[in-house]
């Protein structure tokens, strides 16, 4: 079994609504990703896509309609639903098995044609006990935020600062959907959503088509001079019912521990050079930073105040603007990995961090208040 898998090429679309149809957008990222390494459809080994066709796309025959446009027609191919960072691991394992020397990963989400995010997340709930209550991802996050502030004394202003930072970073990212120079007061005085959350603390509904090509060690060296290697991965899922969970002690700790062990990371705060975290709600970046081991519980707000997680800080978090700036629901986890890849290669453009990046962390999450988490470590 091959031990090494590399990311050799990536492509992504921008977050704002596009007049291009689904097929054209999916084709363009696929074509761009293959062109960058001089491959054709005939060279593809296997394909793994990530999409949520039924609720988000409104098509009940999941993954049947985009195989031709993504090069997967008559190929070994399958689909993963929910969080696209899981697709990364499935693709990596196919190469590690020795059956294939390359794998095309796709994450597909045409947000402009999808229902509102919480129209879909309402359907996450149990149909008999939860759905009639109106429980959604946003109302669940509001419970989590309130509990977080009460337990650790984290302030609303510190939570809002995450949005100030990330939406400001997004000014440098041409793929971002929402961006701007905001003050803490702007964030807190934006339209109320689910108390204590306000509109600018909640990720928008974006478009996002992502393609990523993985290759075996031997194949990668033929395709590029700058492979970025898969170092570690972990994922973990908590119990389904919200009332049975401690919302401030999620399975992110377990997922991160698995990824760090596989990558040989002992001190993530010192060994991770940049992190791209899925934070659909601003305060979650603080909570997730703590559970990733970047600081002790309740101290991420202070870390933010000191500028540690700023784009010029010791541990930049979401220099792309993160999910608050661009939220293609299913594609967002794999998009975090694309950003980590670009940072390591020094190809992130105006949002490239001002430090040498050898190791990057990408995080994805799905479900009410972070029911499941995935963490990937990549590096040189």
Q: Which of 292, 342, 11, 375 is nearest to 172 (CA)?
A: 342
Q: What is the pLDDT of residues 152-161, one digit of tens each?
A: 999 999 999 9
Find, among 280, 294, 233, 227, the residue nearest to 259 by Cα. 233
Q: Give 166-212 pLDDT, tens digit per residue.
A: 999 999 999 999 999 999 999 999 999 999 999 999 999 999 999 99
Tokens of 63: 């993954």
pLDDT in tens, 235-249: 999 999 988 999 999
pLDDT tens, position by position, for the chain (380 residues)? 557 999 999 999 999 999 999 899 999 999 999 999 999 999 999 999 998 766 666 666 666 778 888 888 889 988 888 789 999 999 999 999 999 999 999 999 988 888 888 988 998 888 888 888 889 999 999 999 999 999 999 999 999 999 999 999 999 999 999 999 999 999 999 999 999 999 999 999 999 999 999 999 999 999 999 999 999 999 999 999 988 999 999 999 999 999 999 999 999 999 999 999 999 999 999 999 999 999 999 999 999 999 999 999 999 999 999 999 999 999 999 999 999 999 999 999 999 999 999 999 999 999 999 999 999 999 99
Beta strand 372-379 pairing with 228-237? antiparallel
Q: What would the 3-class secondary structure string for 218-285 be?
A: HHHHHHCCCCEEEEEEEEEECCCCHHHCCCCCCCHHHHHHHHHHHHCCCCHHHHCCEEECCCCEHHHH
């Amino acid at each position: 079994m091959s031990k090494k898998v590399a990311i050799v090429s990536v492509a992504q679309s921008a977050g704002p609504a596009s007049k291009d149809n689904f097929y054209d957008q999916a084709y363009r990222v696929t074509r761009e990703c293959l062109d960058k390494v001089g491959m054709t459809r005939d060279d593809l080994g296997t394909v793994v896509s990530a999409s949520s066709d039924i609720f988000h796309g409104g098509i009940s025959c999941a993954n049947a309609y985009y195989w031709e446009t993504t090069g997967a027609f008559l190929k070994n191919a399958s689909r993963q639903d929910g969080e696209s960072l899981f697709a990364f691991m499935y693709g990596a394992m196919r190469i590690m098995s020795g059956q294939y020397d390359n794998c095309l990963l796709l994450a597909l989400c045409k947000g402009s044609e999808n229902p509102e995010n919480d129209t879909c997340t309402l359907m996450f709930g149990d149909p008999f006990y939860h759905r009639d209550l109106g429980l959604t991802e946003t109302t669940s996050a509001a419970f989590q935020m309130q509990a977080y502030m009460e337990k650790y004394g984290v302030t609303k202003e510190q939570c809002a600062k995450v949005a100030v930072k990330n939406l400001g970073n997004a000014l440098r990212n041409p793929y971002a959907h929402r961006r701007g120079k905001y003050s803490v007061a702007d964030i807190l005085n934006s339209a109320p959503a689910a108390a204590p959350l306000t509109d600018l603390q909640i990720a928008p509904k974006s478009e996002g088509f992502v393609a990523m090509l993985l290759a075996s060690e031997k194949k990668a060296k033929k395709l590029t001079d700058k492979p970025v290697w898969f170092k570690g991965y972990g994922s973990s899922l908590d119990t389904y019912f919200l009332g049975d969970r401690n919302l401030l002690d999620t399975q992110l700790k377990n997922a991160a521990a698995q990824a760090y062990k596989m990558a040989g990371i002992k001190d993530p705060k010192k060994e991770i050079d940049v992190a791209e975290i899925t934070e659909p709600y601003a305060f979650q970046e603080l909570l997730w930073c703590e559970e990733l081991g970047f600081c002790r519980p309740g101290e991420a707000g202070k870390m933010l105040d000191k500028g540690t997680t700023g784009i010029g800080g010791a541990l930049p978090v979401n220099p792309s603007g993160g999910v608050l700036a661009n939220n293609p629901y299913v594609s967002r986890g794999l998009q975090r990995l694309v950003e980590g890849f670009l940072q390591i290669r020094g190809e992130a453009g105006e949002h490239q961090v001002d430090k040498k990046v050898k190791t990057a962390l990408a995080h994805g999450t799905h479900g009410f208040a972070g029911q499941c988490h995935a963490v990937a470590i990549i590096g040189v």
